């Protein structure tokens, strides 16, 4: 099972929209707490890049000084 499959199956603190060739990950909600809770998901996606996917886009919020990410779009590799 790929990291993405495991993350989607077992993960929390995010919403995912998965298609055949891509997946997008966002915080579970719009609150500051949801955004903060999403950052470990971002770090995990970064750490496992190359395990059947590449990060295509990371959207960093410009109104936060902490470089918080509110969207990660990945391109899935076909096995």
Q: For 2-35, how does the pLDDT look when each residue is reduced to its tens digit (9 = 90+)?
A: 899 999 999 889 999 999 999 999 999 999 999 9
Confidence class of residue 75 from pLDDT cuts 50, 70 and 90?
A: very high
Round to whole Å and give the CA distance between 13 and 53: 20
pTM of the complete model beyond 0.85: yes
Domain residue spans in the chain? 3-76
Q: What pLDDT does residue 79 have?
A: 62
Closest CA to 66 of 29, 25, 38, 24: 38
Of 73, 4, 15, 9, nearest in space to 44 by CA: 4
């Amino acid at each position: 099972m790929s990291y993405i499959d495991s993350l989607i199956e077992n993960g929390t603190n995010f919403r995912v929209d998965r298609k055949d060739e891509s997946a997008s990950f966002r915080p579970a909600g719009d609150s500051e707490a949801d955004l903060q809770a999403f950052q470990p998901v971002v770090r995990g996606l970064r750490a496992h890049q190359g395990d059947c996917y590449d990060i295509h886009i990371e959207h960093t919020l410009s109104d936060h000084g902490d470089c918080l990410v509110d969207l990660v779009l990945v391109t899935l590799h076909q096995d």
